[in-house]
Structure formats: C-alpha cells, structure tokens
Chains A and B, each alone.
Chain A
Amino acid sequence: MARMKFLCDADRCIECNACVTACKNEHEVPWGINRRRVVTINDGLPGERSVSMACMHCTDAPCAAVCPVNCFYTTDDAVVLHNKDTCIGCGYCFFACPFGAPQYPQVGNFGTRGKMDKCTYCSGGPEADMSQAEYVKYGANRLAEGKLPICAEMCSTKALLAGDGDIIAEIYRERVVTRGYGSGAWGWRTAYGDTVTV
C-alpha cells in the first residue's frame, strides 16, 4: 500500500510558485486561500533556500487529534483528508498544524472563518470520487484518476516530489549522492517522525 508523502528538494526549488498557481488552477481555489505556498529561508543570503509547503499529510496528524468534530480521516494511501460537512471552522487545526496548512475562507473571528480548506493531495473528499459535489467542496480528485498531485507534476525544476514515501525518498537520496549536497527533506522529521538519510 502506498504511503503518500511530499518532499521538497530545496536545492532545486527556485520559488517559481508554479505549485501555488497550478493548485489554484486545478481546484479553482479562491483568492485568500493558499493550499500551498513557498517560503524562502535566509532570503538574500548565500544560504538562501526556498521550500514549497502544504499539508504534509502527517503520520498521527495533529489536526485530527485536536479536531472537536473528528472531521479528519486518513485514506488507505495515508492522505489526511477532512469532511467539510462536519467541519465547524473552529480553527483548532490551524493551531495544531506544524506547517500552516489549514486555510479559512474568512480571516478572522467570531466564528466567521468558514469551513477549513487545505491541500487534499489532489484526492478530493468523502463525496463520490470525481463527482461534481466533491469538486465544489474539495477540488479535483486526481488520485482517483490515477494521477499525482498537480503541484508536484508541474514543478518547474522537479523540486517538489509527490508519491509513495519510499520511492520519493529514494529519488531524493540518489540526487544527493549524485550531486554531493542536499539541505534535507524539509519537514519530514516533524511530519513523519523520520527523515531521509543519505
């Protein structure tokens, strides 16, 4: 059984934001919601690296632990999804997430956040696969079509890898061995409790 993960090879990432707009395009994500974003560390300094970040689909996802209504569930591919019909927009998952993944249609207060939205690993939600209802709430379901997340598929430099964790870890490991450097599998330790060793 595949254990889906993301891995951003920061030594390849050039902060082109293709992952961000590809996601917007694929799922018609509205203004203000950023299921994926690119963060640049040490901006302007010789050690500068950019990392594309979205929901990492953690092992023992902290969002699921804090959710008062238990709207999260994990698929057999280890993708962490949520049910917007159950979600009450309480915002707890935002504070639990180490990666800033949960997004809300309204920024704010007094219960006006609206329903949480986040990266679905391009695999929709609880509705029937590839249905209109699923699309309207969660966006496209590429996994059901046998495709991988669009952000990784369209990554300009193939920095962002998506797929089975063992396979992408092996790809990354090979790269690091070939080129002789690698700044690490960003977020892996936090999300999966382990990192890629080279």
Chain B
Amino acid sequence: MLKTLISRLPMLVLLASLTTLAAPAAQAQVNPTASSVQEQELMRALQTGDFVAGRVSIPDERAGALIKPGNKGWAGIQGTTLRVISVAAVLVTLTILAAFYAYRGRIRIDSGFSGRVIERFDGIERFGHWLLACSFVVLALTGLNFVVGRWTLLPLVGEDTFGTLSAWFKLAHNFMAWPFMLGLVWVFVTWVGRNLPSKVDVNWLKVAGGLFTRGLHPPAGKFNAGQKLLFWMVILGGVGLSYTGVFMLFPWLAGSPAEWQTYQVIHALFAAFMSVVIFGHIYIGSLGMQGAFSAMGSGKVDLNWAKEHHSLWVEEEVGHGKGAAGKPGAAATPAE
C-alpha cells in the first residue's frame, strides 16, 4: 500500500502541474513560453513525501527525481533525532543499571553454593545463545560506530584510521547480520516451548521477581517471567532488525527511497531498543547475579542457585531423575 502510493507520487506531481496549464486544444494558441511550469508553484503544491520528477534518458528511474525536499526530513531525523535517541537510550540504561547496582548490589545465592551443579543449558542451547550474542555485540558496536563514531572514535584515531576501521566495521555489520539471523532462528526454535506464558509468571511479575527484595524467590520454571519477556523482546527486536536490515543490505528491495528511509528509521529505533534490553540482560547474567553466568558458560549451575531462581524447573528436572551431579561439598567454582 505504502509502496504503491509512493510510486504514484511523481505522477501526482505531474498531474497537479498539468491542471494549471492551458489544455492544448486544437483551436487555442499554444504558447510554451507563457505556459512554462513554475518551480515555485510546483514546490508549493507538493504534499509531504512528494517530489518533483520528470523524464531522463539514462535508464535509471531514480535519476528522474529532480527535487526531493522530503529527503531533508529524513536527513534531519537520521542526522539528529535518531542519534539523540540512541545515545540517550544507552546512557539512560547504563545510569539505571548503575543505580540498581548501587541499590541492590550483587544478588547472591542466599543459601550459598551447594557444591552440586545441575545442567541448565546443553550444547545446542548454548551454541545458539552465543551465536546470537556474539553477532549481536559486533552488530551493536559497529552499528553504534555509525551513530556516534564521528564524535567519539574519529577525534581519537584520526581520519585515516577511522576510515579504515569504519569500513571494516561496515563489512562486519553486513556480514554479521547473517549469523545473527541464524542465531535468532536457532534460539527461537530451541526455547520457544519454554517461553510460553503461564500462571506462575503472574505471581513472579507481581513481586518483580524479587529483584528488589532480598531473599524473595518467587517460583519459576526453566525461564522465569523476566527471562520470558527478554526472550520475546529479543525475538521481536531481532526480527525487526533483521527485516529492516535486509533492506539496508539490499536497498532496491525496499521499493522507493522513501520506504527505505522508513525502514532505516525503524532499524535504528529497534537497534536502540535491543541495546537497552541486552544491556540489562548482560548485567543480570554476569555482574548483577552471583551464579548466573555459568548457566551459559559451562551450562551447569549450582543447585542452590537453581532452587532459588527456578524452583519449579529443578523439581521438574529432579522428578525426571536428572538429579544434580557432583559431590556434595565440592567447591564448584561458579564461572564468572
């Protein structure tokens, strides 16, 4: 719909100007000098998104667009608004996390390490996670360079080096998109079953997972409601980034330049959103919570940690006879 509307615009411009002209009827005098199309009138008549277009002999339809004042609008959004939003999102998130850390500190295992570990994520799950995670980090950092590199990295390293780096970053961004999309599919297929909402989630959410209350551990399955939310946000954000990103890679698929511009804005907004989400995720998966990282590191977690945060899952696992491994008392060192 959008596409057809936009593709019709040049014609609209043409028609608009036509109606102001004397019709070349057989009897009427045709004075091409007097009936000249006027720039000012044409520009005044332009609606948002319209542009002045005509015919060119070179076989490049885009070259027929003469004046596209709308492009300046996108340039304003891209050049200023999106940069502000992106930078603000990152800064605000970091500030909140810092504040949270100051308030709550590291969430420890209340009952201490049991010394027994239980397998939380197998190799397939971990591969999917890290595929997604690594590609995302590269994409995020190289993408961030697009947004703020000219104010941050450039003054540090100088034009030549910045140019070289940015070119490689751009290549990395282009090529990392594919593992990212693969990782996204992988993670979705692996975990979607465990991430469907359930009643338990309601209670978990009511107490905010106990994040703000020491010692409170609402029951949760393999994934608690917070993780489920994360999952769906990642899927949503990832799909959004991938979908719009494909148009960044293949601009001609986007249809008109105006559509491409729309996709670009969406891409940038999704990128900022995802960055915010992933910052939170990284925080809680590493610095923010004792014993959490090993879930994705070795794939095994301390039984006590598991009981506190995923009690229902532990019950389920134990019930299935997949009890904890390791000797009691052995000081398993949680990977950090």
* A/B contact in complex, CB under 8 angstroms: yes
Interface size on A, residues (CB 8 A): 58
Q: Is the CB of B58 within 8 A of A66?
A: no
Q: Is the CB of A70 within 8 A of B78?
A: no
Q: How far is the CB of A115 from chain B (nearest CB, A)?
A: 10
Q: Is the CB of A181 within 8 A of B159?
A: no
Q: How far is the CA of A46 from the CA of B24 in the complex (A)?
A: 7
Q: Which A residues are CB-close (under 8 A) to B32?
A: 46-48
> A97-105, A129-137, A144-152, A158-166: which one contacts chain B?
A97-105
Q: Is the CB of A92 within 8 A of B78?
A: yes
Q: Is the CB of B35 within 8 A of A47?
A: yes
Q: Is the CB of B52 within 8 A of A46?
A: no
A96 part of interface (Cβ distance < 8 Å): yes
Q: Which A residues are CB-close (under 8 A) to B39?
A: 10, 183-187, 189, 195
Q: Which B residues are CB-close (under 8 A) to A107?
A: 252
Considering the complex, give the chain B residue whose CB is closest to the CB of A44: B55
A91 part of interface (Cβ distance < 8 Å): yes
Considering the complex, give the chain A residue whose CB is closest to the CB of B147: A68
Q: Which A residues are CB-close (under 8 A) to B14?
A: 41-42
> B66-74, B92-100, B105-113, B319-327: which one contacts chain A?
B66-74
By size class, the interface of chain B is 35 or more
Q: Is the CB of B72 within 8 A of A49?
A: no
Q: Is the CB of A189 within 8 A of B37?
A: no
Q: How far is the CA of A99 from the CA of B68 in the complex (A)?
A: 6
Q: Is the CB of B71 within 8 A of A62?
A: yes
Which has the most chain B C-beta neighbours within 10 Å: A34, A46, A50, A70?
A46
Residue in A37, A83, A94, A108 whose beta carbon sits within 8 Å of that of B56 in the complex: A37
Q: How far is the CA of A184 from the CA of B162 in the complex (A)?
A: 42
Q: Is the CB of B37 within 8 A of A70?
A: no
Q: How far is the CA of A190 from the CA of B46 in the complex (A)?
A: 13
Residues 81-100 of A, flagged 1 when their CB comes within 8 A of B and 0 if not, give 00101111111101111111
A74 part of interface (Cβ distance < 8 Å): no
Q: Is the CB of B75 within 8 A of A96?
A: yes
Q: How far is the CB of B254 from chain A (nearest CB, A)?
A: 10
B333 part of interface (Cβ distance < 8 Å): no
> B166-174, B207-215, B280-288: which one contacts chain A?
B166-174
Interface residues of A (CB under 8 A from B): 10-11, 17, 34, 37-43, 45-51, 53, 62-63, 65-71, 83, 85-92, 94-100, 107-111, 181, 183-187, 189-190, 195
Interface residues of B (CB under 8 A from A): 14, 17-18, 21-22, 24, 30-40, 42-43, 52-58, 60, 62-72, 74-76, 78-80, 145-147, 149-150, 154, 159-160, 162-163, 166-167, 170-171, 174, 249-253, 257, 260-261, 264
- List 4 A-B pairs, minimum CB-CB distance, nearest first: A184-B39, A65-B79, A62-B75, A96-B75
A90-B146, A96-B75, A96-B79 given. 17 additional CB < 8 A pairs? A39-B54, A42-B21, A42-B54, A47-B17, A51-B54, A62-B71, A65-B76, A68-B149, A86-B159, A86-B160, A91-B251, A95-B264, A96-B74, A98-B72, A108-B251, A109-B250, A111-B171
